[in-house]
Amino acid sequence: AMAHSKALLVLENFIGGKFIPCSSYIDSYNPSTGDVYCKVPDSGKEEVEAAVKAAKDAFPIWSSKSPLERSRILNKLADLIEHDLEAFAQAESKDQGKTITFARTVDIPRAVHNFRFFASSILHHVTECTEMPAMGCMHYTSRAPVGVAGLISPWNLPLYLLTWKIAPAIACGNTVVAKPSEMTSVTAWMMCKLLEKAGVPPGVVNVVFGTGAKAGEALVCHPDVPLISFTGSTLTAQRITEKSAPHCKRLSLELGGKNPAIIFDDADLSQCIPNTVRSSFANQGEICLCTSRIFVQRGIYNEFLKRFVAEAKKWKTGNPSDPTVNVGALISKEHLEKVRNYVKKAQAEGARVLCGEGVDPLALPSGNQKGYFMLPTVITEVKDESCCMQEEIFGPVTCVVAFDTEEEVIKRANGVKYGLAATVWSGNVGRVHRVAHRLQSGLVWTNCWLVRDLNLPFGGMKASGIGREGAKDSYEFFTEVKTITIKH
């Protein structure tokens, strides 16, 4: 009989167009089974040094290509990822714990779109020009790529968020060293295998795998990396800001949120309820834009709560590769514990858990008993000061509370340190505009959620970030501008 040894997947760094083994590795888990299934390079200074050197060497040629040449290569890469969409989706689901459905319909299509979008938008930028006839002068601006871009991404939307940085960085003519999350490195490694075929020259995209403390920090501290684009937690962003300060690096920081949904009594509940369930629990609540504080106007509070809980209970938790499942596994054992603890703390403070964690039974298939699963959980009777209403939980947990007036709810919605995204539900157009203007939030969705136009700025206020990314914003971030004056 054949021995069934389950070979571990072993990733390698991608530096200067070559896959390079590392001297030590980190275990990576399949969140839906709890098994170690992959080894990720535990890179440090040495590997980052080699990657930065490769990126520096590739810069002169890549930056001197025309936008059209770069655009063609980005489009080719998009096509290649799209061709392997199913393999990428399977890998993302296995590595991250998210449902195969979400990976197939959101993560990978968006990664493809990121390359196509910036392949197109890079062709359409115009620089400025002004004239001063009295002085006999004209002025114009010129934009040039900055150099080696350091890109650091989180584990919740692995390839989606990494390509949201790589695409604009290389479209603008920079070369990059990317460091994906050590917990979700597989799809970035798969992408590296397609770069040569797409025509990306060696050294233009380098990927160094490893932890934040070792590989991430080596990148942040490297003197030849003038720019860091980071997506992750506010705490890590503070550390990155500190570490990069001596080098005066340019930073773009996309951080956490504690996003409110404000539901007025004239909202169309048939739209609002399923969408707010989705905005609370999509991707296990592990999206920076997920709703976690739901403010419902008093008149419809009881009806909303009843219907909302009924809808949340319909969401099936289980094996991520089952296409009928809505909620997959959380990223790690530690993260599951952290999320569960928030629910316990809320209960200890006197809040009521209406469904999910600790209330309903969680039946899992036999292969998933050791996975990191949790049911969609709805908490109510919770105070605004409670940690569940103030801190980012980043799991399938949402709080529902009542409010009376518009003035009151704006103040309460703004009463957290974060300011990333908000949703407003109301049939009154005037009110929708008024409230949207007063919310301290980089994004406000009214009567919808997560509808994005990549042309427009994305990013957060307050502790949710610094800077914006989008067609124009990313172009400005990833290029250095110069004002030139000509006297004639």
Cβ proximity to ligand NAD: between 210 and 371 the closer is: 210
Name 364's Cβ contacts closer than 8 Å, sequence gap at least 6: 317, 318, 319, 371, 373
Find the binder of ligand NAD among 26, 54, 288, 454 (CB under 6 A).
288
Give yes or no for residue 392 binding ligand NAD (CB under 6 A): yes
Min separation Cβ 423 and ligand NAD, Å: 16
Nearest to 235 by CA among 221, 218, 256, 214: 256
To the nearest 10 degrees (0 to 180), the angle between helices 85-96 and 108-121 is: 120
Q: Which of 12, 217, 254, 392 is catalytic?
A: 254
Amino acid at 16: G
Q: Look at the alpha carbons of 8, 14, 17, 19 in this order and tell me if their dihedral is positive or negative.
A: negative
Name 285's Cβ contacts closer than 8 Å, sequence gap at least 6: 292, 376, 393, 394, 395, 396, 397, 398
Name 319's Cβ contacts closer than 8 Å, sequence gap at least 6: 32, 325, 364, 365, 367, 368
Find the binder of ligand NAD among 232, 260, 285, 396 (CB under 6 A).
232
Min separation Cβ 212 and ligand NAD, Å: 2
Give yes or no: 254 in active site. yes
Nearest to 283 by CA among 330, 343, 234: 330
Q: State which of positions 161-190 bind ligand NAD (CB under 6 A).
A: 161, 179, 181-182
Find the binder of ligand NAD among 52, 81, 100, 152 (CB under 6 A).
152
Min separation Cβ 127 and ligand NAD, Å: 28
H helices within 5-143, ranges in order? 45-63, 67-83, 85-96, 100-102, 108-121
Helices (H) and strands (E) in the chain, counts: 16, 23
Give 445's Cβ-side CA count (13 Å radius): 22
Name 240's Cβ contacts closer than 8 Å, sequence gap at least 6: 152, 216, 220, 228, 230, 251, 253
Q: State which of positions 205-224 bind ligand NAD (CB under 6 A).
A: 211-213, 216-217, 220
Cβ proximity to ligand NAD: between 296 and 463 the closer is: 463
Min separation Cβ 179 and ligand NAD, Å: 6
CA dihedral angle for residue 335, residue 369, residue 318, residue 105, rounded to 10 degrees: 60
Min separation Cβ 240 and ligand NAD, Å: 5
Quick note: the x/- pattern for ligand NAD over 104-143, rule CB under 6 A, is ----------------------------------------
- CB of 251 within 8 A of CB of 241? yes
Quick note: the x/- pattern for ligand NAD over 357-386, rule CB under 6 A, is ------------------------------
Give yes or no for residue 440 binding ligand NAD (CB under 6 A): no
Cβ proximity to ligand NAD: between 155 and 281 the closer is: 155
Min separation Cβ 16 and ligand NAD, Å: 22
CA distance 324 to 100: 10
Cβ proximity to ligand NAD: between 12 and 392 the closer is: 392
Find the binder of ligand NAD among 48, 188, 255, 343 (CB under 6 A).
255
Give yes or no for residue 233 binding ligand NAD (CB under 6 A): yes
- CB of 331 within 8 A of CB of 156? yes
Cβ proximity to ligand NAD: between 58 and 208 the closer is: 208
- CB of 326 within 8 A of CB of 351? no
Residue in the shown chain whose Cβ atom is closest to ligand NAD: 212
Q: Residue 438: left (phi > 0), alpha (psi -120 to 50), or beta?
A: alpha
Residues binding ligand NAD (CB under 6 A): 152-156, 161, 179, 181-182, 211-213, 216-217, 220, 231-233, 236, 239-240, 254-257, 288, 392, 394, 420, 460, 465
Q: Which positions are catalytic?
A: 254
